[in-house]
Amino acid sequence: MSTRSVLDVPYRTIDGTDLCLDIHRPAGGREVPCVAYFHGGGWARGSRQDRAEERLLALAAHGVAVASVSYRLIDTATHPAQLEDGRAALGWLRTHGVEHGLATDRIGAWGASAGGWIALMLALSDQGDGTGLAKRPDAVCAWFAPTDLTTVRSERDGAALALPEFIQGRAIPDMEAGLLGLSNIGDDPMLARAASPVTHAQHARTPVLLIHGDRDGLISCAQSRALHGALTRAGGDSQLLLLAGANHEDEAFHKPAVLAATAGFFSAALSG
């Protein structure tokens, strides 16, 4: 299926800076389901253009539009700024998506790594403002996401798997502490737990698809396993797919079967 894109669409202005999204959708005029996508990068780097060809446009070719969202990184603002931006993006899509031929009654959230954390937290946590759960996405897919910020480092060290190539030979920053504005995740364990999707599993009201590589050397697949277990125990609708031999941000995630599973999940979940 052919695709078309609308780039650099402002969805929020904060502190004098426009935050933008790119819309990738199937070509043609029919209304299509839509998901907001949040990129990875440890909340410190990355771009909404990352992996556009093999990931975002590929999903659009399966019939699901993708609005790839820029959000504030931690050099600008720490948690919960990323969730505030995510909610603003979902709100913009619900209000303006019809102008781009997007179905807006039900909108999904999708993310990879740190972006998967954003997608999950948008679905599970209201951040204490009393409005988040009412504005949450209607279906969530998270690829290789951290779900318990208090155990990411210990599980990585315990598994002793090979790091992904893009980080080999470099010191691994304490990404979870950076998100929270801490020097060490142990400095405020209550905050870390509150910022962990697994803590909010009882709030699940929407279907969740978790996809993780079983050889992930950066964010252990134990993270997705833990959330899947917590969601299931809480009576939530959770599915877990483990990719054999896949590391973090592995090219295996761009295989047709994985993209088809992701697209099929959203097509089914957003059609009701």
User: What interhelical angle do 114-124 and 81-96 show, nearest 10?
Assistant: 70
Task: Specify the residue for token string 């609308």.
Answer: 6
Least confident range from 164-173, 198-207, 255-264: namely 164-173
What local confidence, expressed as pLDDT, does residue 241 receive? 98
Two structure tokens written together for 194: 């509150």
Residue bearing the bigger pLDDT, 134 or 187: 187
Spatial neighbors of 58 by CB under 8 A, at least 6 apart, are 254, 259
pLDDT tier, 169 (very low <50, low <70, confident <90, very high otherwise): confident
Two structure tokens written together for 198: 């697994």
Q: Which stretches does DSSP call E strand in the chain?
A: 3-14, 17-26, 32-38, 65-69, 102-112, 139-143, 208-213, 238-243
Query: Which DSSP string corresponds to 116-174?
Result: HHHHHHHHH--TTSS-TGGG--SEEEEES----TTTHHHHHHHH-PPPPGGGTTSPPP-
| Of the candidates 140, 142, 14, 11, the residue with the CA atom closest to the CA atom of residue 67 | 11
CA separation for the pair 228, 264 (Å, rounded)? 19
The β-bridge partners of 112 are 143
What local confidence, expressed as pLDDT, does residue 128 receive? 47
- Interval 240-254 mean pLDDT: 98
Percent of the chain with pLDDT over 70: 96
Average pLDDT, whole number, for the chain?
95
pLDDT tier, 133 (very low <50, low <70, confident <90, very high otherwise): low
Inform me whether the pLDDT recorded for 193 exceeds 80.
yes
Inform me whether the pLDDT recorded for 127 exceeds 80.
no
Residues recorded for the chain: 272
What local confidence, expressed as pLDDT, does residue 1 receive? 84
- Interval 66-90 mean pLDDT: 97
Inform me whether the pLDDT recorded for 129 exceeds 70.
no
- Amino acid making up residue 211: I
- Interval 7-27 mean pLDDT: 97
